Amino acid sequence: MAEIEKEWLLMVDGAARGNPGEAGCGAAICDETGAVVRELSRYIGYATNNVAEYEALLMGLEALLQMGKNRIRVQSDSQLLVRQLNGEYRVKDEKLKVLFQRAVSLLRRFDGYRILHVPRELNKLADRLANRGIDDAVKSNSVG
């Protein structure tokens, strides 16, 4: 009998300083034991926090697919992102529609996924990574 693959965890967060403003996205990937195996952060330029949330999700999903993972649980403290992806909210914003459609097409490539809303306190690592994306860009711009 084949063993059922356990879920990998993807924690995502976006940050925008000002809304819109300088923005970054962060994602942490944990294996089925809960150990963090990858930390991702990226500066995305001038964007809203909602765009940054979606960019974090896309970055994490692409990494999981490259790693060959099939079952995932996504955690975000963005109610908008979670409710849109779970079909509870319509996506009205044109910029978000494009990101939403990309996310749905990536999610369909997994054998199974769940998208869960968590309180901000349970998403601190992803938040730190999102802010690191902004901080690294600001530092590298002010160096020379």
Q: What is the pLDDT of residues 14-25, one digit of tens each?
A: 999 999 999 999
Q: Is the model's pLDDT at 143 over the cut of 80?
A: no
Q: Is the model's pLDDT at 3 over the cut of 90?
A: no
Provide the CB-side half-sphere exposure for 21 (13 A, CA).
Answer: 9
Q: What percent of the chain has pLDDT over 90?
A: 90
In a domain, 142, yes or no: no
In a domain, 144, yes or no: no
Q: Is the model's pLDDT at 139 over the cut of 90?
A: no
Q: Is the model's pLDDT at 2 over the cut of 60?
A: no
Q: What is the CATH number of the domain that holds 34?
A: 3.30.420.10
The tally of domains found in the chain comes to 1
Residue written as token pair 């923005």: 23
In a domain, 90, yes or no: yes
**What are residue 54's phi and psi, to 5 degrees?**
-65, -40
- The pLDDT-based confidence of 72 (bands split at 50, 70, 90) is very high
Please, what is the end-to-end C-alpha distance for the chain in angstroms?
60
Higher pLDDT, 5 or 36: 36
Among 17-26, 99-108, 134-143, the minimum mean pLDDT is found in: 134-143
In a domain, 44, yes or no: yes
**Can you tell me whether residue 119 is helix, strand or coil?**
coil
Higher pLDDT, 1 or 141: 141
In a domain, 2, yes or no: no
In a domain, 31, yes or no: yes
**What are residue 30's phi and psi, to 5 degrees?**
-115, 140
The pLDDT of 46-54, averaged and rounded, is 97
In a domain, 23, yes or no: yes
Give the range of the structural domain holding residue 113, as residue numbers without chain letter. Answer: 8-136
In a domain, 141, yes or no: no
